[in-house]
Structure 1
Amino acid sequence: MTALRALPVNNRNLNLLKALCLSVWLLLAGCEQRRPAWQLEGMQGTALWHVTLTNPPATLTKAELQAGLNQRFAQTNQWLATWDDTSVLAQFNRQQGTDWFAVAPELAQLVELTLQLSQQSNGVYDVTVGPLIKLWGFNSHESKTAVPEQAAIDAARAQVGYQKLQVRLEPPALRKSQADVLVNLSSVADGFAADQAGHYLETLGVHDYMVEIAGEVRTRGVSPRGDAWRIAIEKPVDEGRVIQQGVSLQNAGLATSGDYRNFFVEGGKRYSHTVNPATGAPVTHNLASVSVVAADATLADAYATLLMALGEQQGKIFADTHGINAYFIWRTDQGFETADTAGFRQLLGKK
């Protein structure tokens, strides 16, 4: 199961992206800063990013740090972007043979993680779902408006299956056992990008920072106030920005997966960007969003997508069973209901 972060590029979706990103800062605004801090922001592709760091490095100017972060985000896109024909992943997808394909160690480690989660979830999470994502139009810069024919869905499903993808770490490489397999890592791309930016900051001696890209967050150390980073989780509404819940983070990542930013409606039925590999169609449960706190943003991003695919009932059971810190919001006839796991309740200071 995978979920694309890219949205069709238009003013409405750029505004939605800005709202999503700015929600991260909402709980920080207006608070007294007791330590020196820098705030930087930029845009990579269609994704907005923000970085706040406490005690900036004396060896770099703010402009130099901005350039370094831009370079790190660009490198991540060069590895993972399915919309860029020159990216490593796009080249691997075009490869018609089944030979080993050399990749960077970071990419091999990322694929290894996704395959572990595929096994853990019995294929509910599956990064080879690319053909179905493409068929349903959720990786396109044009809005999708029509449901594919069943024959086309069946043909795309024949290309899907995480067992058809292999990875090795030494030397780092990927291989597919079926030539037409397409890998899509969008379900972890934003979290991975946040972690990569964090690793870069740490090489500069920065250990108190928050990185956010397209709503996925990595935190380390303390905020400019000297305490934990305070992050807002949005209410899953199609328009505007409403805070549902705040959470304090320290040395952790947070990611949210939802159906309220990337979807289309046909015949009165809503089709979200989260596709079930077993059926070849978007999921049909009532879960609107799920937020996960994990050791880093990559793992949080992957688990959020996995739980979103499972839905509010099975997702809650899976999260409880595997000790995942998760917060669920689902639709009812009366509005929204919520549930959280024991670990997430502890983060909120609840019993």
Structure 2
Amino acid sequence: MTSRETRWMAGPTLRGLALLLLAAVLLVGLSGCEREAQSYRLEGPIFGTGFHITFYGDYSDARLDEIEQAVKQSLDKVDHLMSTYKPDSELSRFNQAPVGEPFTLSPETAEVVREAIRVGDISRGAFDVTVGAAVNLWGFGPDKHPDRIPSDDEIASALKEVDYRSLKLDGNQLTKTKPVYVDLSGIAKGYGVDQAARALEAQGVKHYLVEVGGEIRTKGTKPGDKPWRIAVEKPVSNERSVQRIIELDDSSVATSGDYRNYFEENGKRYSHTIDPRTGRPITHHLVSVTVITKDCMTADALATAIDVLGPQGGLDMAERENLAVYLIVKTDQGFEAKASKAFQRYLKRSDEEVPS
């Protein structure tokens, strides 16, 4: 774990959260005779990115220290259990374990693996936590190499190690039936958001926004009973601008997109998102996916799955599973937005789409 600097800040705050989602947090005074709520922010590095937490209330310095420690411990625990960069993490030890030998997971890791398998099933293999061999082959994983196009034989060889169905979870006992490498980075970040949120709630915090690397979970409201307003970023690589504002209640939001992480060769762009069914980068024109669910872990995984499936396949899955999904598709005329039926209520509650 790298060293962490955390800061508490009391008073009005306005911060554009980085990466795929921008969250505008504006303090408004409470009316009437109620004591004015204070705004507090905690931030620091985690999971190779950063976390930002804003919450409201009235807490003593001692209580703030307790809240800070609870949040840090919750995030550190997820990192220690599920990091692929730590050779002694629980996940690394499972990856090093022999094929066919049951491995006892912590309840936390088992929860994440169980959800990863479920999302793999409902997405028909578009989400696969064993895709690491193919991701590394294309130079988008931790084993980076100079940008180049793998051969068909190399891709076929990597695909032999991609199969989430070879993971058998019985309670907390996880067994792999063939050699695979499990990487939970497509779901564990969202789970970290959930765990930080649970830590806040255990400390009595009722109104908060938690963000880790662009994945967000909210609860309650801002002072004045105002909703949390989240900005979906416009999918352009050369600037940060807003596509649409949405209002959140007690829910989570995750976004997936390929408009910043890619490489080009001979004039062709290769996305960092690898389709685990083909071992190759996606080639469709879906450039951004936003998913709203109760748990951020689930939103995180679903956003990746729908990104792989593409505009039509992703929308079909959203309707089939009754998911709140917002898609941005690149066309010859610009960007076209599509929303599932379950997402419509967020559009009705929010501002009109931000013009280009």
Which TM-score tier does this pair reach, normalised by the shorter chain?
A: 0.7 to 0.9
> What displacement does 1:24 show?
2.9
Q: Do residues 129 (structure 1) and 126 (structure 2) align?
A: no
CA contact (8 A) 2:18 2:214 kept: no
Structure 1 pair 56/292, CA: closer, same or farther in 2 (3 Å)? Answer: farther
Within the alignment, does 1:200 sit opposite 2:196 as a pair? no
Matches within 5 A, 1:39-54: 39-54=41-56
Structure 2 equivalent of residue 271 of structure 1: 270
Question: C-alpha separation between the residues in 2 aligned to 1:24 and 1:149?
Answer: 38
**1:80, distance to aligned residue in structure 2 (A):** 1.7
- C-alpha displacement of 1:144: 4.9
Distance 2:208 2:95 in 1: 35
CA distance in 2, matches of 1:144, 1:325: 38
Is the partner of 2:174 in helix, strand or coil? Answer: strand
Per the alignment, do residues 308 and 158 of structure 1 end up closer, same or farther by CA in structure 2, a change over 3 Å counting? same
Higher relative contact order (CA 8 A, sep 6+): 1
Output aligned runs, 1:10-159, within 5 Å. 19-20=18-19, 24-25=22-23, 27-29=24-26, 32-34=28-30, 35-58=37-60, 60-140=62-142, 142=144, 144-159=146-161
Query: What's the CA shift string for 1:301-347, capped at 9, x where partnerless?
Result: 11111110100111111111211101001111222111111221211
**Which residue number in structure 2 is paired with residue 191 of structure 1?**
190
CA distance in structure 2 between the partners assigned to 1:308 and 1:125 by the alignment: 9
Deviation at 1:261, TM superposition (A): 2.7
Query: Residue in 1 aligned with 2:10?
Result: none
Query: Which whole-Å deviations, capped at 9, do the CAs of 1:226-252 have from their partners, x for residues lacking one?
Result: 222111110111133111111111110
Q: Which moved more, 1:280-289 or 1:50-59?
A: 50-59
Q: Which residue of 1 aligns with 2:335?
A: 336
**Paired letter, 2:41:** Q
Give the deviation of 1:146 after TM superposition: 1.0
2:25 partner letter: L
Cα RMSD for the two superposed structures: 2.1
> Paired residue for 2:222?
223
Structure 1 counterpart of 2:212, one-letter code: I
Cα separation, partners in 2 of 1:39 and 1:284, compared to 1, 3 Å: same
Task: Provide the C-alpha distance between the structure 1 equivalents of 2:123 and 2:47, rounded to a whole number of angstroms.
Answer: 31
Give how far 1:219 is off: 0.9
Question: 1:77, 1:262 → 2: CA distance?
Answer: 23
**What's the secondary structure of 1:348's corresponding residue?**
helix
CA displacement 1:72-121 (0-9 Å, x = unmatched) = 22211112222222221122112233211111101101111111111112
* 1:121-153 deviation digits (Å, cap 9, x = unpaired): 221211111211122221227475111122111
Change (3 A) 1:42 1:143: farther
CA distance in 2, matches of 1:118, 1:293: 18
- CA–CA distance in structure 1, aligned partners of residues 334 and 271 of structure 2: 18
Per the alignment, in what secondary structure is the counterpart of residue 52 of structure 1? strand
* Conserved 8 A contact 2:217-2:252: yes
| CA 1:89–1:50: 2 relative to 1, 3 Å | same
Contact 1:18 1:48 in 2 (8 A): no
Cα drift, residue 173 of structure 1: 2.5
Contact 2:190 2:215 (C-alpha < 8 Å) held by counterparts: yes
Aligned CA distance change for structure 1 residues 87 and 118 (closer, same or farther; 3 Å): same
Instruction: State the identity as a percent.
Output: 36
| 1:174-185 aligned within 5 A | 174-178=174-178, 180-185=179-184
Give me the whole-angstrom Cα distance separating, in 2, the residues matched to 1:97 and 1:311: 34
In structure 2, C-alpha distance between the alignment counterparts of 1:109 and 1:45, rounded to whole Å: 19
Q: Is the 8 A contact 2:136 2:143 kept in 1?
A: no
Name stretches of at least 5 consecutive residues in structure 1 with no aligned partner.
1-16
Partner of 2:323: 324
- TM-score, normalised with respect to structure 1: 0.88
Local SS of the residue matching 1:244: strand
Preserved contact between residue 57 and residue 204 of structure 1 (Cα < 8 Å): no
1:304 maps to which residue?
303
